Amino acid sequence: MTDNLLIEPLDQAFSVSLCPPGSKSLTNRAVLLAALSSGRCDLSGLLCADDAHRMREALITLGINWEATSPTTASITGNSGTFPKADAKLLLGNAGTATRFLTAACCLGTGVRTLDGIPRMRERPIGQLVDPLRELGANIDYQDHDGFPPLQIKAGGIHGGKITLQPTLSSQYISALLQIAPYLPGGLTIDFDGQPISIPYITMTLSLMHQFGIKANIAPGFTSITVPQGVYKPVNLHIEPDASNASYFLAAAAITPASKCTIKGLGFRSVQGDAGFAEVLQLMGASVICEPDSITVISPPKGEKLVGIDIDLNHMPDMAQTLAAVAYFADGPTTIRNVGNLRVKETDRMAAIQVELMKLGAEVDIEGDDIIITPPVNPMLPADEAVTINTYDDHRMAMSFAVIGLRKPGVVLQDPTCVNKTFPDFYDYLTRLRG
């Protein structure tokens, strides 16, 4: 694929059924819990993408036995909460999930472990995870700038107990603590001094831990979580499709007249909070059919338009860019509230959304942690020349603006292959909308 990619607008309506690859969030949680389990776990539906590769390589470097029977299936033999290799150097690229989860996991057992990534990863804060780990006895040193990778962890001495967390920039910090909690002497209780961010991702972690045999207690109002001491049991598990990556095709159906998209393997039984994005499209005027194992989105009836909405996306911030793409074609402004943590993702996503949508004629304002998008009067009007969209090495920027290009002529993506982070076959799937 070239350095730039022109997204050709669709020339007709579409009706498709798709099953995207496995969830990144579930894959990275499942393989870590399998590595911490007490025996052999058979996993299928695993994501095959850069973020998942980074986690796999790190676990193998730590001595975990990983037998791949196909790109999406593996047998992982756990080591009951420790790692066979005491010392390890882990290079994690820009895989934020892997970096955060492994920062906590590398505190288990004994040994010296270093964690590092690309320059952008060294700009992504991790102090809100390191501080509570230190409170629990972990020995963690910053190797460059305080609060940021690279890290050196001297494992040994971590204990359980009770900690109190202020609202954090990422729910992944909380998930990282929860996943190692069964192996902390006495277990772990986390009290929350304020509402946690992205609660659906935390409940996803707890649901998966339950499947591995550890049941946590959530206090009313999500004021605390208690995880008992224990051992993860071996399981056989299938990973459902990635709800975040499915959102782009559901969005494409919503903005393309007379179109319909069904995502198979993802329905109201999903443990992924981003599966709720279909309800956001429904609020904007699309029709939604949600079955136990499928979600269908249908564009508004003939003669009707999508409408702008005012919505808090704190519970699914990764959907902000997809919503921004849909908002570009809506009737009236859309306000996306409470998504300040987008600033510490693969790029500053709030700024990126603003800069790139304004290139396409939208008016975009940032007020604190809110984004207000006012679409152009005629969003499908071709520009005098093609508009090159900077993707910022951010997979979600590329995929969301590709959705815009399906309707608006002249959208060119710079560095389109950044989608390899979570969805290497994204453009192949996009061609299925063309029949």
Q: Tell me: the pLDDT tens digits for 248-262?
A: 999 999 999 999 999
**118 shares its domain with 14:** no
In degrees, to the nearest 5, what angle opens at C-alpha 27 toward C-alphas 26 and 28? 95
Residue with tokens 């969830």: 23
Tens of pLDDT, residues 278-314: 999 999 999 999 999 999 999 999 989 999 999 999 9
Provide the mean pLDDT of the chain. 96
Task: Tell me which of 50, 318, 394, 415 is the catalytic residue.
Answer: 318
Yes or no: say if 163 and 134 are a contact pair by the CB < 8 Å rule.
no
**73 shares its domain with 192:** yes
Is residue 242 flagged as an active site residue? no
Q: What is the pLDDT of residue 3?
A: 87
Yes or no: say if 399 and 377 are a contact pair by the CB < 8 Å rule.
no
**71 shares its domain with 111:** yes
| Eight-state DSSP code of residue 242 | -
How many Å apart are CA 376 and CA 201, to the nearest integer? 34
Yes or no: say if 423 and 245 are a contact pair by the CB < 8 Å rule.
yes
Q: Domain containing 73: what range?
A: 24-238
Q: What is the pLDDT of residue 381?
A: 87
**173 shares its domain with 190:** yes
In degrees, to the nearest 5, what angle opens at C-alpha 399 toward C-alphas 90 and 381? 155
Q: Which of 214, 238, 262 is the last residue of a domain?
A: 238
**222 shares its domain with 287:** no
Is the pLDDT at 350 greater than 90, yes or no? yes
Residue with tokens 């989105």: 297
Q: What is the pLDDT of residue 218?
A: 97
At position 64, the amino acid (one-letter code) is I
Residues in contact with 120: Cβ distance below 8 Å, sequence separation at least 6, in sequence order: 94, 346, 347, 393
- For 116-127, what is the mean pLDDT? 94
Measured CA distances, 223 to 104, 176, 189 (Å): 22, 18, 11
Tens of pLDDT, residues 66-89: 999 999 999 999 999 999 999 999
Is the pLDDT at 383 greater than 80, yes or no? no
Yes or no: say if 274 and 281 are a contact pair by the CB < 8 Å rule.
no
Per the structure, the count of domains in the chain is 2
Residues in contact with 231: Cβ distance below 8 Å, sequence separation at least 6, in sequence order: 37, 38, 80, 81, 182, 183, 213
**301 shares its domain with 413:** yes
349-359 and 395-405 are packed helices; what angle lies between their axes, rounded to 10 degrees? 30
Q: What is the pLDDT of residue 169?
A: 86
**251 shares its domain with 109:** no
Is the pLDDT at 1 greater than 60, yes or no? no
Tens of pLDDT, residues 105-114: 999 999 999 9
Is the pLDDT at 2 greater than 70, yes or no? no
- For 124-135, what is the mean pLDDT? 97
Q: Which of 188, 217, 238 is the last residue of a domain?
A: 238
**249 shares its domain with 234:** no
Residue with tokens 């990282």: 176
At position 362, the amino acid (one-letter code) is A
Q: Which of 183, 210, 238 is the last residue of a domain?
A: 238
**47 shares its domain with 165:** yes
**71 shares its domain with 217:** yes
- For 121-145, what is the mean pLDDT? 97
At position 162, the amino acid (one-letter code) is K
**290 shares its domain with 209:** no
* Token reading at 213: 């045999």
Residue 269 burial (C-beta neighbours within 10 Å; 0-12, 13-18, 19+): exposed
We report the CATH number of the domain holding residue 337 as: 3.65.10.10
pTM (2 d.p.): 0.93
- For 383-399, what is the mean pLDDT? 94
**128 shares its domain with 216:** yes
